Amino acid sequence: MSDRDGGKIDSKYPNVLVNVNLEVVAERSIVSPPLSSKIIKFFVDRGVFGDVVKRLSSSRDKYKPFFISNLRYVDDVRRIYSVGRGGVYNPPVILSGRRLVGRISFVSSHDVINDVLSVKPSSIYDLEFGSERIPLRIIVKDVEVVGEIDSLSIDLSDKILIRFHTPVVLSPKIMIPPSLAEKPKYKKIPVSNLLLPMPGALIGYSMKLWNNIMPPEKRFTYPNDEDSLYIFKTSLLANIFTEIIDYKIRPVTVAVGRDEHGKLRETRGFIGYIIIKINHPKIRRIAEKTFALANHLGIGRGRGIGLGEIEIIKTK
């Protein structure tokens, strides 16, 4: 993982995937930020879960091994975030006393896990909204050490359903040939985000995420070559040799924050599900590893604020 922006952690190639499962209870009803993940991020960025988790959260590496989920009520699968309609956002309200759940997922070295384990199991913190201080109870339900990255795998021998719980924000430029990617005439052309889940784009992003974490000998690449060419060719073939069986997709607009002038920053992505079957044996073997990782860390931009959360389910 790159350390160009402070995202580097203790080991050069940290290799342990960790899920921190949380419960949050508001002491009184509050208006949530447009993305309820910002509530968890508020505490992460104040070092509640340790310095390494804090640095990962603030890293600007777009393939950083880090994810913060949006909150949801314990009895509801829907994530809490606001969708824009005609530029208007109705902020969600989090009700007093209702149990919410969320998680932080990251890749680390073994010694960093102790920082998270040292968090008090049930603590009350003040969430600051402007001049207001709103008490929230943060409960660390469990710290799940999923295992070493190289041991991850998901069975793709048959069709799978990929559910997109929160908007997936992907640029079609992830599919551009590497020989053209850095040419000014192509870099300057504006493109909109993908509003349909192209199998090649999903696999291509998950490969980039994997390769950014793993040491050179564990990456998916050609010998003595840059991984971008291998990812491009694999993504292209994935679009050809992946069978799309069914889908239900909806494009949405979400607010991700404000710029330095106070103007609302928005982005577009897609939610819903797609059912696919990967028929190419080699691509399937790659995706069995990279999709297993993305199942925890998400797909696309904004994973550090809860976008791109996916769930992969075997289906008949």
- 3-class DSSP string for the chain: CCCCCCCCCCCCCCCEEEEEEEEEEECCCEECCCECHHHHHHHHCCCCCCHHHHHHHHCCCCCCCEEECCCEECCCCCCCECECECCECCCCEECCCCEEEEEEEEEECHHHHHHHHCCCCEEEEEEEECCEEEEEEEEEEEEEEEEEHHHCCCCCCCCEEEEEEEEECCCHHHHCCHHHHCCHHHHCCCCCCCCCCCHHHHHHHHHHHHHHHCCHHHCCCCCCCCHHHHHHHHHHHHHHHEEEEEEEEEEEEEEEEECCCCCEEEEEEEEEEEEEEECCHHHHHHHHHHHHHHHHHCCCCCHHHCCCCEEEEECC
Please indicate, yes or no, whether residues 165 and 68 belong to a single structural domain of this protein: no
Please indicate, yes or no, whether residues 89 and 189 belong to a single structural domain of this protein: no
Tens-place pLDDT, residues 42-58: 889 988 888 889 999 99
Q: Would residue 256 count as lying in a domain?
A: yes
Please indicate, yes or no, whether residues 65 and 106 belong to a single structural domain of this protein: yes
**Segments forming the whole domain that contains residue 72:** 16-149
Please indicate, yes or no, whether residues 189 and 234 belong to a single structural domain of this protein: yes
Record the pTM.
0.90
Average pLDDT of every residue of the chain: 87
What pLDDT, on a 0 to 100 scale, did the predictor assign at position 47?
86
Of 117, 133, 149, the domain-final residue: 149
In this prediction, residues 94-107 reach a mean pLDDT of 94
Number of domains in the chain: 2
What pLDDT, on a 0 to 100 scale, did the predictor assign at position 2?
33
Tens-place pLDDT, residues 246-293: 999 999 999 887 777 777 888 999 999 999 999 999 999 999 999 999
Q: What percent of the chain has pLDDT over 90?
A: 58
Please indicate, yes or no, whether residues 141 and 164 belong to a single structural domain of this protein: no
Q: What is the CATH number of the domain that holds 121?
A: 2.40.30.310
Tens-place pLDDT, residues 212-250: 999 988 999 877 666 688 999 999 999 999 999 999 999
Please indicate, yes or no, whether residues 166 and 54 belong to a single structural domain of this protein: no
Q: Would residue 264 count as lying in a domain?
A: yes
Q: What is the CATH number of the domain that holds 256?
A: 3.30.70.1900
Q: Would residue 5 count as lying in a domain?
A: no
Of 102, 118, 149, the domain-final residue: 149
Please indicate, yes or no, whether residues 229 and 121 belong to a single structural domain of this protein: no
What pLDDT, on a 0 to 100 scale, did the predictor assign at position 285?
97
Please indicate, yes or no, whether residues 159 and 296 belong to a single structural domain of this protein: yes
Tens-place pLDDT, residues 4-23: 333 333 345 678 999 999 99
Q: Would residue 9 count as lying in a domain?
A: no
Of 149, 172, 192, the domain-final residue: 149
